[in-house]
Structure 1
Amino acid sequence: MNRFHFCLTDRANNFPPLPKFFRIKPCFYQNVAEEIPQPYQQLVRRVYKLWMLYCITLCVNVVACIAWWAGGGGAVNFGFALLWLLVFSPCSYTCWFRPLYKAFRADSSFNFMAFFFIFFLQCVLAFIQSLGISGWGAW
Structure 2
Amino acid sequence: MVSTELTFHWRNKNLKDAVLAIYYAVAWGYNTRDKLLMALPQFSKNRLLLALDLLFSSGMASANLGVLTVSEDIRLIEQIVGMKFDLPFSEDELTPPVKRKVALGLGLKNAAGIDVLLFTKTKEKFNDH
Greater Rg over alpha carbons, structure: 1
- Greater relative contact order (Cα 8 A, min sep 6): structure 1 or 2? 2
The answer to whether TM tops 0.5 is: no
